[in-house]
Amino acid sequence: MPDSPASLVERRSIDVVPDSERHGTPFSQFTLWLGANLQITAVVTGALAVVFGGGPLWSIIGLLLGNVLGGAVMALHSAQGPKLGLPQMIQSRAQFGVKGAVVPLLLVILMYVGFFASGSVLAGQAVGELTHLGDTTGIVLFAAVTAVMAAVGYKVIHALGRVASVICALAFVYLGIRLLDSIDLGAVLATDTGFDLPMFLLAVSLSASWQLAFGPYVADYSRYLPRDTSGRATFWWTLAGSGIGSQWSMTFGVLVAATSGGAFMKSQVGYVVGLGGAGLIASFLYFVIALGKLTINVLNTYGGFMSMVTSISGFRGQQELSPRARSAYIAGIMVAGTAVALLGKDSFLTSFKDFLLFLLTFFTPWSAINLVDYYLISRERYDIPALSDPNGRYGAWRWDALVVYVVGVLAQLPFLVTHFYTGPLVAPLGGADVSWIIGLAVPALLYFLLARRSTDHLPGASPQAESGVTPTAPAAPNP
């Protein structure tokens, strides 16, 4: 069922968006990703660079480098949306096969349920304080609002991003002023007396991993842009929004962690609100924290929903969903994420975050394979109908890509650092985690060498296949 221009509730899921329903400008990617990154979890991520032993100055520089590098990879995925009009993960069928794409998809779903849970814990604290109903009720209320907004879909998600980008930016300006008024910035930065390579690489890895985590769903939020939207404009606006928002939050986290004497890590939400003031100001800051987490959790829920539908439809052949089925998928993610949040809100959450970061190991190779195939092998041309046909040009399982994917995962293990596993090559590198670099470079090179030798899966001379559109979505005329 098509979406009318005036319709607020989204009807489409993993089916291609026809030109008649395309709308918006690349600037919408800036406001969405700025709002999604001006939030408390990004602040905590930046703080970890100092908590783990890094100095403030080099931590800020390392975080900036990671945000640029990881953000560039993420923004390259975003640029795919207007061209194909498809959600991000369904494109994986061109590399892994219609059914083979379920391998990375299952891990992506698990990760986004986990991110939903971890975000709900922090947001639940803020909602609980606002409503005076406690953390548990706050988590449940927050999860319910998240699910409703994800069910409404694309338009309300972007509207939320526009609102959050303004309100959260104003709040972070105010908090920054309050923080700088209470510390000697020059003295804080001067405490960073030397360059420590492992700690610097840790900061790079923290922010790069943060950005790479958006990769499996970033095109979900650019796929309604008109087909003739500039790929460069989509790339730069996405990178600017995500990079500026995350670096802003993480830099604030570094300075707070370096000056709070450990109080911030004991109570992240409480410390930030206390820094801003009391009374109405405190209530406003609790609202801002909940709003920031709502923005990103709606993305996690919507992206998880798209990934679930993509996984199941690869075996069932279903491309369109009824409103009832759509709500059922989203409710399933909400229930699973809320259950994990309630179970882990007291003691389990720290270990679970480690597990989520471990899951990043499993889709940096996906990101590398997807980008190499799209930009270097297929050259932005996909046969859209074949993405739903196990007997089509992409087949049910593409074993060459799946083998490269597994090799990419295994290649990272010697370089991986978590609380429950540390690779044997970490110590010679001084404790630095460079697994994400290996996870991008190794599968990218291997897939490029293999895929260029076999071009059977590439679109032929059909105009529709060449332009990557279906008969119901005619290509825009050439300018």
Residue 263 lies in a domain: yes
| Chain centroid, CA 239 distance in Å | 12
pLDDT at 478 over 80: no
pLDDT at 122 over 80: no
Residue 155 lies in a domain: yes
User: What's the CATH code of the domain at 221?
Assistant: 1.10.4160.10
pLDDT computed for residue 370 by the predictor: 92
Q: Which of 10-19, 211-220, 284-293 has the lowest mean pLDDT?
A: 10-19
Residue type, 229: T
Residue 105 lies in a domain: yes
Interatomic CA distance for residues 105 and 195, integer angstroms: 39
Residue 364 lies in a domain: no
User: Which of 136-145, 260-269, 420-429 has the highest average model confidence (pLDDT)?
Assistant: 136-145
Residue 254 lies in a domain: yes
Residue 231 lies in a domain: yes
pLDDT computed for residue 3 by the predictor: 53
Residue 208 lies in a domain: yes
- Is the pTM above the cut of 0.95? no
pLDDT at 448 over 90: yes
Higher-pLDDT residue of 243 and 396 is: 243
Higher-pLDDT residue of 68 and 309 is: 68
pLDDT at 130 over 90: no
Number of domains in the chain: 1
Q: Which of 169-173, 228-232, 470-474 has the lowest mean pLDDT?
A: 470-474
Over the stretch 60-93, which tens digit does the pLDDT of each residue have?
Answer: 999 999 999 999 999 999 999 999 998 888 888 8
- What are the structure tokens assigned to 64, written together? 């900036």
Residue 317 lies in a domain: yes
In order of 121, 228, 259, 349, the CA distances from 344 in angstroms are 8, 46, 28, 5
Over the stretch 7-31, which tens digit does the pLDDT of each residue have?
Answer: 677 887 778 889 888 999 999 999 9
Q: In terms of Cα–Cα distance, which of 358, 335, 403, 431 is closest to 103?
A: 403
pLDDT at 48 over 50: yes
Average pLDDT over residues 84-108: 87
Phi, psi values for residue 422, rounded to 5°: -135, 125
Task: Find the domain containing 285 and state its range.
Answer: 19-359
- The answer to whether the beta carbons of residues 189 and 49 sit under 8 Å apart is no
Average pLDDT over residues 420-445: 85
